[in-house]
Each structure stands twice: as structure tokens, then as C-alpha cells.
């Protein structure tokens, strides 16, 4: 593995330093007037220590329907055809902002291309966003004018239940802006096939369950958002946002199983039904005040309260006699309240910018649970506090960001209380080698709390002699990471090579353990001793003609990962992560093709295969209308595989396929109209409460 990584780095070096010396391709990041002139002439990129700044040429602005089309041209962003939203080709969580305020996909659509000044692409997010996202994209726009904008889109399959739809409207008058949004994602598949095998030794006897199931499953996710914004330039800004998520899901499945005990085998029948539903109203209040020309104070408060209902009924019985093997009837009602508050202060010095703040988040969950262990009522509380400060500056070709903070994680349940303070430092250094080449180094340390499902006291039956449960005694995991990033760009290439090493102590993973009380195996969470991951990630885009006529985007990431379990066993895996996107634009037509080669990655004592991709889409634009068509998973169903390693106490494998979306044909239509411009609030704080608690 080390030889492979060294070879890749050597080839990258040969490729990079054999390029010609390209002329200055940057802009002055501090002068808006110069930026506004530049975007009419050429597309440009300027690399900083923690971000890249992009502007767009006249041709790109004229072709784009809205700002989302501009963002789609960035080297490390792609349009995810499943959700119809923008995502990083590297994976991870991506956060979008408009003038510093967290923005939805529809808000980005509501921004006209002519309003865009520049885009800040943070591949190393600042402290206030680092806990929430791996990549942050900040869209900076011009001043507001009175006007309105609205639009809608719908994409649907014809042979199965697949629908993505949305509608939005914004109205601006003077210093006030009103916004309304609605979106829906619906899935309804009646042909998912799953094969699972459990093979293990228990009490000196050999057991094996070979299951084959077919189920009907689906979900509907709806979002409704209402916003009011008032902004007085150089004085203050206020925003109130009411957001509501409506979610429900279901699964109804049945099948058969061949159960073997030593040399004896019998036929079993399996039934499994389940559902989850919640409605999450969330209030988001934001206020910022310019104390002086160089000082700003911001406050953000987010709060919600809702109930999640989850049920699961699973049953297995012997076909010949009708005798029950197990009955699992689980019902969970979780009443959840979440509050997040953040206070931040910034000051501009001649040498750089100081940013400091305090964020606190508290999630309280009251559970009414009925499961294999009987009836129970218990409450849990998850509290997290974070105090941070960082200073960013630049000295000639050298740029830097130095940060430090304190984080407190306080998790309390009926069984256990975990409380820990951690020092959270971060260092980012950058050096401009040439006008179009830079070298960056980042080093950070951060703790991460277990999720509510991992800490849950719930127990459900998976198969004969095997249950799944949480672990209330988990502690936080602590990750120390280093990245060395080389960046190169010219008219044809935009390329990044990231040599990375991550070491995590007390890694949270899922393993099978022997349950001495129940006398069976339990799939549960535990803190492994440590884990590490190292490798090189090559990302970027190539434009053979120097335009959008043909663009090739790719991620190739050879890596090695290991986990040292609590018992001392060493688990190792090597893989080459990858993702490829080919796109083309010609006049009013555009095309995009996505493909990957699925690889196994390590998750505790398991190897998980990532979802396969083989999608193609074509669209045509006519004034405010856009027509699109495409096909998902060409010639294959979407496929999901998991298998255990030899270190696992249970030899487990699972293969799932959704036959409904094999070569799934879709049609789409969208309409977007605008008149005038809208207010875009420069919000410095962006928070959200914890997601719904399920098992």
C-alpha cells in the first residue's frame, strides 16, 4: 500500500512540475470593485490557506439559469442525481451559504447569475463551521434591489415510486425580504431483495441462518420553510426562519430461512414490518450588529420540540410446525427538545482577522419503550459546549490560520454519565509556490460524541440467537489529523493532491459480542482502542478544450485503514476510492454522466461496499423552462453489500438490491422566473439542532 501511494505521489510531481509557467491568474480578494470588473472578463481562481475563491466569465454567467448552475462548474462539486442537490465529489457533508447565511438548494436557485460576485470554497472550514461540515461553499452576491423570484421543478419515474419536487418564492421590498419554500422527496419500492447469512459457534455448537427476503419499502420527506429578513447596511441584520421537516417511512417484508444447527436443518418463515414518523418544527433566530467599522457581534438561537414514533415487528417461525422461533415487537416514542445558541465576535486588524465565540447545544430525549426487555421509561440528555478563537492572516506569499478552543461533552443517561473537557487546537499554513500553484498544511485535534442510536438502551432481535442493542457506556472518540495539500490550476486543469493521516483514539464501532446474560450474541457499539487512516486523495477537473464543452471530474484515493479492537485484535483494509463525472454543455443542451467502481471500506469488524453509480442525464433550456431526462443505474439495480471480517465472532454477510431502480427512466421539468434582486443577509452563525432520535 505504501509503495502504491508513493508511486502516485511521484507521478503527480512529474505531472505538476512539467507544466508551463502560467501567468498570474488571481484577483484582489479585498476590493469588490475590482472583482466586479474581473467577472466580466474571465473565470479565475485564487488559492488561500483554507479556501479557494472563484469568479465566473461572461459566457458562464449567460449560460447559467441560476447560481446553482455556476456552483456546479466548480472542480470538486457535482449534481447528485438522487437528491437533485449539489454535493462534493469527495463525499462528506457540504454546507452552502449565501453571504454567510446557511442556504438551501432552493435559495441558491433563487439567486440570479448576474448577482454573483464570487464563490468562496472552504475545503478547510473555519471554527464556526468545522463541527458541522467537511466542505463549506459561501456564495457572495451584490446589493439588494426590490424584486421577486419564484420557481418550481418536478422529476419523476414512470415505472416505480420516485419523485423529487420543489417550489420557492422570494419577495424583496426595501430592506425587507420574505421567502417561502417547499420540497418533497418520495420513494416507494416494492421489489427490494435481501440475502443475509449468520454463521457462528455458540455453546460448542455450530449455527447458520441463510435468509432470503423480499420487501416493500419507502419514505416521504417534506420540508416547508418561511423566512423574514431585515437588513440595514453597516448597522444591523435580523432574520427569523420557521422550518418544518415532515418524515415518514415504512417497510413490509417477508421471506424464508434455512436454519442449521450442526447436522440438523429446518425451514423457517420470516416476517418484518416497521415504520418511523416525525414532524419537526424549528425556529431559527439570528441578529448581528456592527459595533464599529472593524467589530461585529452576532447571536444565533435555534430551537425545536417534537416526537418521533418508531415501530418494528419481526417474527420467525418453523414452517413445518408453526412453532415460534422469536417475536420481536418494538415500539419507541421519543419526545425530543433541542436548543442551540451561539455568540460570536469578530475584529479586523491590519494584519488579519480575529474570530471568537461560544456555542452550546443541548438535546433532551424522553423515551417510552416497549421491546424484548419489556416496558421502560427513561430520559437522556446530551450537552455540548465549545469555546473557540482563531486568527487568520497573510504575509506576502505565506498565509495562516491559528485556532484553539475548549470543548465539553456531557452525556447523561439512566445507566451512565460521561463528562469530559478537551483542548481543540487547529493549525492551517499555506504558501504560494507560483501564481497557479500552492502548498498547504493543516493539523487538527477534535473529539466527537456518540450518536443517540449508539447510546440507546434499546434491544431488537435480528435472527435466532442474535440481537442488536446500543451501549450507554460509550465515551467520545478523539481524532488527530494532518493533511498536506498541493494545488495546481490553469485553463485546462484544476487539481489537488492531499496526503493525509488520521489517528483516532477510542474509535466508536459496531462489533458482535457474547452476551453472558442472554446467552447469545449481540451486535453493539464499543470503543475500540484506536484506528488510523492514511493515503493520498487526488481530486480535480480537466477541460480538454478549456471550456464547458467537455469537463472530466475525478476522485482517486488509494488509502489504508486499520482498527485495533478493545481485545487487541488488528483489523486492516486497503482500498482505492473513486468517483468520475463527465459533463458537456453546448448552447442550450447539457449532459452529465456519473460512474464509480464500488470499493469496500472498514466499519468496525465489517466491510461495507459503497453504493454503485451509473447514471446519465440530458437537459434542454428554453428561456425560463428546462426539460430534462435521464436514466439511473443503467443495466443494474442499486446494490449494497456488507460482510464481516475473520475477527468477527459472527460470520455475517448481506447483499441488498433494489430491483425497481434498475435502468430507471425519469423525466423532469422546471420553471424559474425573476424580476429585480433580493436581500441576502450576511449571517455569520449557522446552527441546527440534533436529528430525530431513532434506533
State pLDDT tens for residues 129-184: 887 888 999 998 876 567 888 999 999 999 999 999 999 998 988 888 899 999 99
Mode of pairing for the β-strands spanning 135-141 and 94-98: parallel
Q: How would DSSP label each residue in 192-247?
A: EEEEEEEEEEETTEEEEEEEEEEEEEEEEEEEEEEEEEEEETTTEEEEEEEEEEEE
Residue whose grid cell is 507560483: 434
Instruction: Cell numbers for 95, please give them.
Output: 454546507
DSSP type of residue 123: S
Residue 567 is predicted with a pLDDT of 85
Instruction: Cell numbers for 670, please give them.
Output: 422546471
Residue 80 is predicted with a pLDDT of 83
Q: Strands (DSSP E) along 233-263, which ranges?
A: 236-261
Residue 457 is predicted with a pLDDT of 83
DSSP type of residue 343: E
Residue 683: strand pairing partners: none
Residue 36: in which H helix or E strand, if any?
helix 32-38
Instruction: Cell numbers for 311, please give them.
Output: 415501530
Q: Is 285 exposed, middle or buried (0-12, 13-18, 19+ CB in 10 A)?
A: middle
- Cβ atoms within 10 Å of 95's Cβ, excluding its own: 18
Residue 374 is predicted with a pLDDT of 84
Helix (H, G, I), strand (E, B) or coil at 103: coil
Side-by-side strand order, sheet with 466-469:
459-463, 466-469, 520-527, 508-515
What distances in angstroms separate CA 461 from CA 173, 313, 327, 489, 490, one per listed residue? 58, 10, 8, 54, 57
Instruction: Cell numbers for 197, please give them.
Output: 447469512
Instruction: Cell numbers for 619, please give them.
Output: 437537459
CA-CA distance, 484 to 470, in Å (whole number)? Answer: 37
- Cβ atoms within 10 Å of 283's Cβ, excluding its own: 13
Q: How many CA atoms lie within 13 A of 78 on its CB side?
A: 30
Contact (Cβ atoms closer than 8 angstroms) between residue 136 and residue 103: no
Contact (Cβ atoms closer than 8 angstroms) between residue 57 and residue 42: yes
Residue 676 is predicted with a pLDDT of 59
Contact (Cβ atoms closer than 8 angstroms) between residue 667 and residue 628: yes
Residue 200 is predicted with a pLDDT of 95
HEC-encoded secondary structure of 635-695? CCCEEEEEEECCCCCCEEEEEEEEHHHCCEEEEEEEEEEEECCCCCCCCCCCCCCCCCCCC
Instruction: Cell numbers for 16, please give them.
Output: 505538476
CA-CA distance, 269 to 467, in Å (whole number)? Answer: 18
Contact (Cβ atoms closer than 8 angstroms) between residue 206 and residue 178: no
Instruction: Cell numbers for 438, please give them.
Output: 500552492
Contact (Cβ atoms closer than 8 angstroms) between residue 525 and residue 565: no
Residue 156 is predicted with a pLDDT of 96
Residue whose grid cell is 457474547: 514
Residue 35 is predicted with a pLDDT of 27
DSSP type of residue 69: H
Contact (Cβ atoms closer than 8 angstroms) between residue 486 and residue 12: yes
CA-CA distance, 458 to 331, in Å (whole number)? Answer: 10
Q: Which of 302, 298, 305 is nearest to 358 (CA)?
A: 298
Instruction: Cell numbers for 609, please give them.
Output: 461496499
Contact (Cβ atoms closer than 8 angstroms) between residue 76 and residue 123: yes
Contact (Cβ atoms closer than 8 angstroms) between residue 283 and residue 341: no
Instruction: Cell numbers for 38, please give them.
Output: 474581473
Residue whose grid cell is 487568520: 392
DSSP type of residue 3: H
Contact (Cβ atoms closer than 8 angstroms) between residue 670 and residue 629: no
CA-CA distance, 639 to 657, in Å (whole number)? Answer: 5
CA-CA distance, 73 to 56, in Å (whole number)? Answer: 10
What residues in the chain have per-residue pLDDT under 50? 1-42, 677-682
Helix (H, G, I), strand (E, B) or coil at 66: coil
pTM of the model: 0.85
CA-CA distance, 521 to 209, in Å (whole number)? Answer: 14
Q: Strands (DSSP E) along 449-588, which ranges?
A: 459-463, 466-469, 477-489, 493-505, 508-515, 520-527, 530-542, 551-564, 570-586
Residue 329: strand pairing partners: 313
Give the chain's domains with CATH numbers: 2-675 (2.40.170.20)
Q: Which of 588, 477, 589 is nearest to 526 (CA)?
A: 477
pLDDT digits (tens, 9 = 90+) for 44-84: 888 888 888 998 888 788 788 888 888 988 888 888 877 78
Spell 229-238 as b/e; 16+ CB within 10 A means b.
bebeeeeebb
Residue whose grid cell is 417511512: 249
Amino acid at each position: 500500500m505504501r509503495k502504491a501511494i508513493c508511486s502516485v505521489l511521484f507521478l503527480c510531481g512529474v505531472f505538476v512540475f512539467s507544466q508551463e509557467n502560467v501567468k498570474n491568474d488571481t484577483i484582489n480578494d479585498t476590493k469588490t470593485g475590482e472583482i466586479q470588473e474581473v467577472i466580466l472578463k474571465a473565470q479565475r481562481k485564487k488559492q488561500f490557506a483554507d479556501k479557494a475563491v472563484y469568479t465566473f466569465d461572461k459566457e458562464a454567467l449567460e449560460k447559467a439559469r441560476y447560481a446553482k448552475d455556476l456552483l456546479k462548474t466548480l472542480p470538486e462539486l457535482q449534481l447528485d442525481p438522487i437528491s437533485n442537490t449539489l454535493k462534493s465529489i469527495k463525499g462528506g457533508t457540504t454546507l452552502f451559504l449565501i453571504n454567510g447565511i446557511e442556504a438551501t438548494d432552493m435559495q441558491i436557485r433563487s439567486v440570479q447569475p448576474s448577482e454573483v460576485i464570487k464563490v468562496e470554497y472552504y475545503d478547510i472550514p473555519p471554527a464556526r463551521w468545522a463541527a458541522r461540515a467537511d466542505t463549506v461553499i459561501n456564495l457572495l452576491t451584490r446589493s439588494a434591489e426590490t424584486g421577486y423570484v419564484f420557481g418550481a421543478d418536478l422529476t419523476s419515474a414512470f415505472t416505480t415510486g420516485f419523485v423529487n419536487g420543489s417550489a420557492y418564492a422570494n419577495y424583496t421590498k426595501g430592506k425587507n425580504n420574505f421567502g417561502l419554500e417547499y420540497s418533497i422527496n418520495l420513494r416507494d419500492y416494492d421489489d427490494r431483495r435481501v440475502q443475509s447469512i449468520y454463521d457462528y459457534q455458540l455453546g460448542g455448537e455450530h449455527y447458520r441462518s441463510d435468509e432470503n427476503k423480499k420487501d416493500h419499502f419507502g419514505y416521504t420527506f417534506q420540508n416547508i420553510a418561511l423566512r423574514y429578513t431585515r437588513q440595514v447596511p453597516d448597522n444591523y441584520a435580523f432574520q427569523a426562519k420557521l422550518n418544518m421537516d415532515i418524515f415518514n417511512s415504512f417497510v413490509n417484508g417477508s421471506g424464508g430461512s434455512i436454519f442449521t444447527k450442526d447436522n440438523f436443518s429446518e425451514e423457517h418463515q420470516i416476517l418484518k414490518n416497521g415504520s418511523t414518523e416525525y414532524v419537526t418544527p424549528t425556529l431559527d433566530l439570528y441578529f448581528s450588529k456592527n459595533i464599529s467599522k472593524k467589530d461585529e457581534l452576532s447571536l444565533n438561537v435555534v430551537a425545536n420540540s417534537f416526537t418521533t414514533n418508531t415501530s418494528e415487528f419481526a417474527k420467525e417461525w418453523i414452517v413445518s410446525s408453526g412453532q415460534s422461533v422469536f417475536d420481536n415487537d418494538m415500539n419507541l416514542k421519543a419526545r425530543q427538545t433541542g436548543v442551540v445558541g451561539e455568540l460570536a465576535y469578530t475584529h479586523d486588524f491590519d494584519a488579519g482577522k480575529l474570530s471568537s465565540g461560544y456555542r452550546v447545544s443541548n438535546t433532551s430525549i424522553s423515551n417510552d419503550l416497549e421491546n424484548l426487555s419489556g416496558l421502560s421509561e427513561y430520559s437522556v440528555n446530551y450537552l455540548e459546549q465549545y469555546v473557540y478563537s482563531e486568527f487568520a492572516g497573510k504575509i506576502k506569499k505565506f498565509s495562516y490560520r491559528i485556532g484553539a478552543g475548549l470543548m465539553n461533552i456531557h452525556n447523561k443517561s439512566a445507566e451512565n454519565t460521561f463528562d469530559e473537557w478537551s483542548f481543540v487546537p487547529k493549525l492551517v499554513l499555506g504558501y504560494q509556490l507560483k501564481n497557479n500553484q500552492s502548498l498547504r498544511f493543516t493539523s487538527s485535534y477534535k473529539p466527537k460524541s456518540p450518536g443517540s442510536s449508539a447510546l440507546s438502551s434499546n434491544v431488537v432481535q435480528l435472527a435466532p440467537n442474535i440481537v442488536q442493542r446500543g451501549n450507554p457506556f460509550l465515551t467520545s472518540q478523539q481524532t488527530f489529523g494532518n493533511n498536506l495539500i498541493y494545488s495546481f490550476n490553469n485553463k485546462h486543469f484544476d487539481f489537488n493532491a492531499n496526503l493525509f493521516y488520521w489517528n483516532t483514539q477510542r474509535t466508536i464501532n459496531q462489533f458482535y459480542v457474547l452476551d453472558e446474560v442472554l446467552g447469545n450474541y449481540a451486535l453493539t457499539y464499543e470503543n475500540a482502542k484506536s484506528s488510523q487512516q492514511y493515503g493520498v486523495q487526488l481530486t480535480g477537473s480537466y477541460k480538454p478544450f478549456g471550456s464547458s464543452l467537455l469537463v472530466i471530474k475525478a476522485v482517486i484515493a488509494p488509502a489504508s485503514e486499520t482498527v485495533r479492537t478493545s481485545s487487541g485484535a488488528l483489523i486492516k483494509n486497503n482500498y482505492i476510492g473513486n468517483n468520475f463525472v463527465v459533463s458537456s454543455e453546448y448552447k442550450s443542451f447539457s449532459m452529465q454522466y456519473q460512474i464509480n467502481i464500488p470499493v469496500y471500506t472498514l466499519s468496525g469488524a465489517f466491510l461495507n461496499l459503497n453504493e454503485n453509480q451509473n447514471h446519465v442525464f440530458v437537459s434542454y433550456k428554453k428561456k425560463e423552462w428546462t426539460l430534462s431526462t435521464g436514466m439511473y443505474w443503467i443495466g443494474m439495480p442499486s446494490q449494497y453489500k456488507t460482510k464481516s471480517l475473520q475477527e468477527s465472532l459472527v460470520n455475517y454477510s448481506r447483499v441488498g438490491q433494489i430491483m425497481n431502480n434498475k435502468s430507471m427512466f425519469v423525466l423532469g421539468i422546471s420553471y424559474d422566473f425573476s424580476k429585480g434582486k433580493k436581500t441576502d443577509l450576511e449571517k455569520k452563525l449557522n446552527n441546527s439542532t440534533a436529528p430525530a432520535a431513532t434506533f
